[in-house]
Amino acid sequence: MLLVLYGFAVLFVVAWPTPVDESSRGLIFRVLGALHRRGLPEFVNYNVVEFCANIAMFIPLGLLVALLFGPRWWWAAFFVCAALSVSIEFYQYLLLPDRYATVRDVVANSTGGAIGMLAAVIAIAWLRRPTPISR
């Protein structure tokens, strides 16, 4: 159920006809400017924020898919995330002229999926660890 709800949220974001941050882009630039004046390195710019947002968006997908597949097939979650990301970018390229389809987004989304998948592997290993017998 959680995977379905998450899927609808991602669908909402990726199928929106214009970039979802379009109305808040000015605010993002003002916040970044204020942070740069307070010492944030200049390389942390809008592109870095957007890349990290794409990573963050796919972490739950990698986690949920790996948990759904279980201990034997957890690794397939990476391919599911990468394939979904490529599909999203093709969809945006073909059907949403105001959106930007990029390989960079596929890399970010796949990275997020891999992070989520690794979190699931750690959780599965932790839950399956033998418990010591107390006396």
pLDDT tens digit sequence for 105-117:
999 999 999 999 9
Residue type, 4: V
pLDDT number for residue 48: 95
| Confidence (pTM) | 0.85
Residue pLDDT, tens place only, 3-60: 889 988 988 888 888 888 888 888 999 999 999 999 999 999 999 999 999 999 999 9
Provide the 3-class DSSP secondary structure of residue 52. helix
Q: How far apart are CA 107 and CA 54, in angstroms?
A: 9
Q: Quick one: DSSP state of residue 24? A: G
Q: 88 pLDDT exceeds 80?
A: yes
Provide the 3-class DSSP secondary structure of residue 64. helix
What token pair was written down for 36?
């740069």
Domain locations in the chain as residue ranges? 2-12+48-128
Residue type, 86: V
Residue pLDDT, tens place only, 122-133: 998 988 888 777
pLDDT number for residue 7: 86
pLDDT band of 135, cuts 50, 70, 90: low
Query: Which residues make Cβ contacts (< 8 Å) with residue 58, sequence separation at least 6?
Result: 81, 85, 108, 109, 110, 111, 112, 113, 116
Q: What is the largest CA-CA distance in the chain?
A: 67
